[in-house]
Amino acid sequence: MITKLFRKSFITAYRIAAVISLYGLLIGIGAYAAVMALYSTNRSWIVPVLISPSNDRVLTLTAQIVASQQSLNSLILSTKNLRDAREEMGRRRALLEYLLEQLDKAATRQRADNAVSGTQLTRLAQQKHADVSATQTLLADIDHSAQEVDRNLKAGLITRFDALQQQTALAQFRNAYTDAQISEVVLKDSARQKLSTDLSVVETMSKVIAIKSELAQLELTIRTGDETIASNLAQIANIQRAIQATRDNPYFVAAQAQRATEFAFVSYDNRSVIAPDAPVYDCVLSFVACRRVGSVGRVFSEEERAINPIFKTDTRGTFIQLSLTDGEAIKSKTLFVGRKPLLF
Amino acid sequence: MNAVPSIVVLLSVLVLAVRYVWGSILKWHHPQLHTVHKNYSLQPTCSVLLPVFMEGPGVYDTIRSIRESDYPTDRLEIIAIDDASSDNSYQHMRRAAQDFPNVRVHRNAENLGKNRTVLKALKLSQAEMVISIDSDTVFAPNTVTELMACFADAKMGAVGGVVGIRNPNDNAITKFQTVQYFLAYHLGKIPENFTKTVGCISGCLFAIRRRVYLEIEPKMAARHFFGIPTSQGEDRRATHEVVLRGYHTYVNLDAQCWTLVPNTLTAYLRQQLRWRQSSLHDFFYTIRTLPLHVRMPFNVLYVFFLLPLTTYLALFRIAGGLIENPLWWMDPRPLSVYMLMSILVCFAIRKRNPEQAIQNPLALAMFGAFWIVSSVFITILASWTLDSSEWGTRVSTLEPAQEEDTVAEEEAA
């Protein structure tokens, strides 16, 4: 009796379970087919993603941004130093050019003066030579006068004092003659110096050459500096563009945020419905009883890859930032943008 | 919990390895290990038990093919019972009884189901051996001889043969089944033959010692699912009972017969459902009587536990696959492997059984995904319809019986 009752109860329970299970299976198959059909044709589904500041990609991106910023700062500083140096070198070049110009003018003026004074000196030297030659004829008379003084002294015609006075006068005359000869030589030398290339001219030329060489060196340095500055500026522009591009990246946004940020993956097929401020819906069982849970924020352009949550295939697309009024919606497998998938 | 998928894969691989790798090694390298000694001079008396239901004129062909057997006529009788068919099956049976010797025909007053009809035929037999067959089975001339020769082994309890397809090229469904049958017999049964513990000898061609059948008959008659009599899988259960009593079971690959297979999707699915129900009934019976099996040769656990378990393992794998990837079933690789295997089997069929040669084997492609349908839908449906007891393949369109039980008994002179 107990066995019979047990069997009857078991069979009843078994049949109830069978009905539930088989209808469950049918519903499951129907839901599977419906979801497959819906997601094959619908173009408004997105996949919510929560990205926290500790996300691996966020951390990697942050490290890259820091490194890029450091490079940028270093380049900017280096460029500024180069520009300062370039300005200093420019000033120095201007000074040297001025100096060279003045030196050139002075040399020209000196050459002109020398030519004039050299001619005058040459004439004076010739005149001096004539004077000296005339004086030389008088030297024999001086020698004769000196002998006569000696004879007069010995003859006692003149005092010793008078003799000494006369002899001194004669010696002075001889000295004057010698001085005249020296002056002639000096005069000739001066005239020669004025009229020929002498050491001072060579020294002047040497200074000019040195200044020109320094100017050339400076020019080369300035040109190299200008090229380095141009290269640095190009690099700075590249890095700034890269950093700017990085700013248009959900992971950068997540890195800047103090808490996990809500995004969504949008496959390329579904991009057409995406627009800032478009409404976002969350649905029960991913396709029915939908309700608005927020709107679309920023739309990013960088390509992302994700696994399709329904078909489990590798899918290409982009990220959008979400502004969710219901934070729980981020846990859903999919959300819909623009409108509800089945109008309810 | 994470170990479950690994265990599932491991068990599946184990079963596949035993069934196909070990089967191939035995078949081509150690044929002596999976064959039995045959004695063709034995020739015991034999009754062919023929339950008939809605078979129409085909039953006449069945009886004729048996009577054209090379087995001594006086040692072979046919006991055919119509299970209250509403068509003209019974008339064709009577015609066969008039045309051929040693043919007895009977008719049930009401539909009893195949199992009870066979048991009824068994009670009418006095032979040493009985062969239970399906009403659409056609014998080769040497089929009975081959089956009886295997009973030289005193421990041999039941012997089966290779079931071929009579209508292989009806459509893609029958082509698919031709490949399925060929693979199952010529490779799948080899590891089971190795230990003489075949798990299921097909009801199409089931030879058994009558005394052994009588021994297991009470068990067969009393089969039920929590009090509800069941009729599915009488062949599987009979084989199981024979093994549990310590007898050998064996499939003689030289004993060939042919049967009609369903050529419509509905009929095919109904047949598969019935088979899956019987497999699950037997699986739960194994679990209930597990201590008995543990004491048997190691292959018994493979045959009666692991093989049916793969039904659920497949379901688990598919469910896991679908959860992981809903489009998992679209992966072309399994289909490609299946296609390649099918083409190879088609070549083997053309060589060994040219009468079943499949035209355009590429038509099999559409059935590549059937494994998923079978594993998911049929397994689940079978699991929840174990209390069902219909014939299965042929839809019953019974009308009230017009004649009483055993209203006619025609015997040839």
CA distance B249 to B261: 24
CA distance B297 to B334: 34
Same domain, A204 and A334: no
Q: How many CB atoms lie within 10 A of CB B344?
A: 13
pLDDT for the residue numbered B171? 86
Query: Which of A1, A3, A14, A287 to probe by mutation at the B interface, max B CB count within 10 Å?
Result: A14
The answer to whether residue B407 sits within a structural domain is no
Residue whose C-alpha is closest to residue A8's, from B111, B224, B221, B273: B224
Same domain, A276 and A193: no
| Residue written as token pair 């103090």 | A258
The two tokens of residue A8 are 């009857």
Give the residue, B364 or B18, on which the prediction is more confident.
B18
User: Please, are residues B96 and B64 in contact by the beta-carbon 8 Å criterion?
Assistant: yes
Tell me the per-residue pLDDT of B188-213, one tens digit each, with 9 for 90 and over: 899 999 889 999 999 899 999 999 99
Task: Give how far B336 is from chain A: nearest CA, Å.
Answer: 21
CB contact under 8 A, B326 and A22: no
CA distance A66 to A242: 12
pLDDT for the residue numbered A259? 78
Cα dihedral value B138, B142, B145, B147, nearest 10: -60
Same domain, A222 and A266: no
Same domain, A135 and A207: yes
Nearest CA in chain B to A26: B377
Tell me the per-residue pLDDT of B368-386, one tens digit each, with 9 for 90 and over: 667 677 777 888 899 998 8
Q: Which of B227, B326, B380 sits opposite A311 (nearest CB)?
A: B326
DSSP B109: S
User: Please, are residues A190 and A121 in contact by the beta-carbon 8 Å criterion?
Assistant: yes
Nearest CA in chain B to A32: B326
CA distance A251 to A239: 18
Same domain, A120 and A269: no
Q: Report strand pairing: B138-139 vs A288-307.
A: unpaired
The answer to whether residue A341 sits within a structural domain is yes
Q: Which of A10, A14, A312 sits opposite B326 (nearest CB)?
A: A312
- Mean pLDDT, rounded, for B31-47: 89
Same domain, A183 and A270: no
| Residue written as token pair 């069978």 | A18
pLDDT for the residue numbered B365? 64
Ordered strands of the B248-259 beta sheet: B103-107, B76-82, B46-52, B129-133, B205-209, B156-165, B248-259, B138-139
**Buried/exposed code over A236-248 (b: 16+ C-beta within 10 A; e: otherwise):** beebeeebeebee
pLDDT for the residue numbered B172? 84
The answer to whether residue B343 sits within a structural domain is no
B413 pLDDT band (50/70/90 cuts)? Answer: very low
Same domain, A217 and A271: no
Stretch 27-66 of chain A: residues touching chain B, C-beta under 8 Å: 32, 35-36
Tell me the per-residue pLDDT of B208-244, one tens digit each, with 9 for 90 and over: 999 999 999 888 888 888 888 887 788 899 999 999 9
The answer to whether residue B214 sits within a structural domain is yes
CB contact under 8 A, A11 and B226: yes
List, as one string, the DSSP characters of B346-377. HHHHHHH-GGGPPS-GGGGGGGTTHHHHIIII
The answer to whether residue B140 sits within a structural domain is yes
- Integer distance in angstroms from the first to the last C-alpha of chain B? 69
Query: Which of A4, A11, A12, A333 to probe by mutation at the B interface, max B CB count within 10 Å?
Result: A11
Cα B220 off chain centre by: 16
Contacts with A40 from chain B: Cβ below 8 Å = none
One-letter amino acid at B77 equals E
pLDDT for the residue numbered B35? 85
A24 touches B: beta carbon within 8 Å: no
Tell me the per-residue pLDDT of B47-94, one tens digit each, with 9 for 90 and over: 999 999 998 898 999 999 999 999 999 999 999 999 999 999 999 999
CA distance A40 to A97: 79
pLDDT for the residue numbered B212? 94
User: Please, are residues B99 and B80 in contact by the beta-carbon 8 Å criterion?
Assistant: no
CA distance A97 to B259: 116
Tell me the per-residue pLDDT of B116-165, one tens digit each, with 9 for 90 and over: 888 889 999 999 999 999 888 899 999 999 999 999 999 999 999 999 99
Tell me the per-residue pLDDT of A281-314, one tens digit each, with 9 for 90 and over: 998 877 788 888 888 888 888 888 888 877 777 8
User: Please, are residues B111 and B85 in contact by the beta-carbon 8 Å criterion?
Assistant: no
Beta bridge partners of A314: A307
Task: Mention every residue, 6+ apart, whose C-beta is less than 8 A from residue B270.
Answer: B262, B392, B393, B395
The number of helices, as runs of H, and strands, as runs of E, in chain B is: 17, 10
Same domain, A288 and A180: no
pLDDT for the residue numbered B394? 47
CATH code, B218? 3.90.550.10
The answer to whether residue A269 sits within a structural domain is yes
Nearest CA in chain B to A310: B326
DSSP B396: P
B411 pLDDT band (50/70/90 cuts)? Answer: very low
User: Please, are residues B358 and B346 in contact by the beta-carbon 8 Å criterion?
Assistant: yes
Task: Give how far A315 is from chain B: nearest CA, Å.
Answer: 14
Same domain, A218 and A127: yes
B408 pLDDT band (50/70/90 cuts)? Answer: very low
Beta bridge partners of A45: A336
Cα B246 off chain centre by: 21
Nearest CA in chain A to B380: A22
CA distance B66 to B93: 13
CA distance B238 to B243: 9
Enumerate chain B positions whose Cβ falls within 8 A of a Cβ in A. Answer: 225-228, 322, 324-328, 377, 380-381, 384-387
Radius of gyration of the CA atoms of chain A, in A: 55
CA distance B204 to B124: 20
Same domain, A75 and A215: yes
Query: Which of B223, B224, B226 to probe by mutation at the A interface, max A CB count within 10 Å?
Result: B226
What is the tally of structural domains in chain A?
2
The two tokens of residue A114 are 């020398």
CB contact under 8 A, A11 and B385: no
CB contact under 8 A, A15 and B387: yes
Q: Which of A7, A21, A35 sits opposite B226 (nearest CB)?
A: A7
CB contact under 8 A, B387 and A312: no
What is the tally of structural domains in chain B?
1
A25 touches B: beta carbon within 8 Å: yes
CA distance B217 to B234: 11
B108 pLDDT band (50/70/90 cuts)? Answer: very high
Q: Is the ipTM of this complex over 0.85?
A: no
One-letter amino acid at A244 equals Q
A4 touches B: beta carbon within 8 Å: yes
User: Please, are residues A177 and A183 in contact by the beta-carbon 8 Å criterion?
Assistant: no
The whole-chain average pLDDT of chain B stands at 85
CA distance A40 to B196: 53
CA distance A297 to B10: 49
The distance between the two most distant Cα atoms of chain A, rounded to a whole number of Å, is 200
Task: Give how far B229 is from chain A: nearest CA, Å.
Answer: 12
User: Which stretch, A104-108, A227-231, B268-272, B295-299, has highest mean pLDDT?
Assistant: A227-231
Residue A148: phi, psi to the nearest 5? -70, -35
Give the residue, A41 or B397, on which the prediction is more confident.
A41
Compute CA distances A284 → A26, A170, A329, A332, whole Å. Answer: 19, 143, 11, 9
pLDDT for the residue numbered A54? 81
DSSP B102: S
CA distance B257 to B201: 13
The answer to whether residue B189 sits within a structural domain is no
The answer to whether residue B20 sits within a structural domain is no
Q: Which of A11, A22, A25 sits opposite B387 (nearest CB)?
A: A11
CA distance A64 to B231: 73
The answer to whether residue B316 sits within a structural domain is no
Q: How many CB atoms lie within 10 A of CB B318?
A: 19
User: Which stretch, A276-280, B63-67, B314-318, has highest mean pLDDT?
Assistant: B63-67
Same domain, A203 and A132: yes
The two tokens of residue B144 are 């009975």
Query: Which of A32, A312, A315, A334 to probe by mutation at the B interface, max B CB count within 10 Å?
Result: A312
Contacts with B318 from chain A: Cβ below 8 Å = none
The two tokens of residue A101 are 């110009």
- Mean pLDDT, rounded, for A9-18: 91
Same domain, A213 and A273: no
pLDDT for the residue numbered B1? 54
Q: Report strand pairing: B46-52 vs B76-82.
A: parallel
User: Please, are residues B171 and B267 in contact by the beta-carbon 8 Å criterion?
Assistant: no
pTM of the predicted model as reported, rounded to 2 decimal places: 0.68
Residue whose C-alpha is closest to residue B84's, from B111, B105, B106, B115: B111
Q: What is the extent of the structural domain holding A329?
A: 260-344
The answer to whether residue B102 sits within a structural domain is yes
Task: Mention every residue, 6+ apart, whose C-beta is less than 8 A from residue A172.
Answer: none
CATH code, A171? 1.10.287
User: Please, are residues A63 and A206 in contact by the beta-carbon 8 Å criterion?
Assistant: no
Q: Which of B228, B322, B385 sits opposite A18 (nearest CB)?
A: B385
CA distance A44 to B150: 69
A14 touches B: beta carbon within 8 Å: yes
pLDDT for the residue numbered B392? 46
The two tokens of residue A205 are 């030329």
pLDDT for the residue numbered A271? 84
The answer to whether residue A277 sits within a structural domain is yes
Q: What is the extent of the structural domain holding B50?
A: 39-175+196-263
Contacts with B228 from chain A: Cβ below 8 Å = 11
| Percent of chain B topping pLDDT 70 | 91
pLDDT at residue B273 is higher than 70: yes
CB contact under 8 A, B228 and A32: no
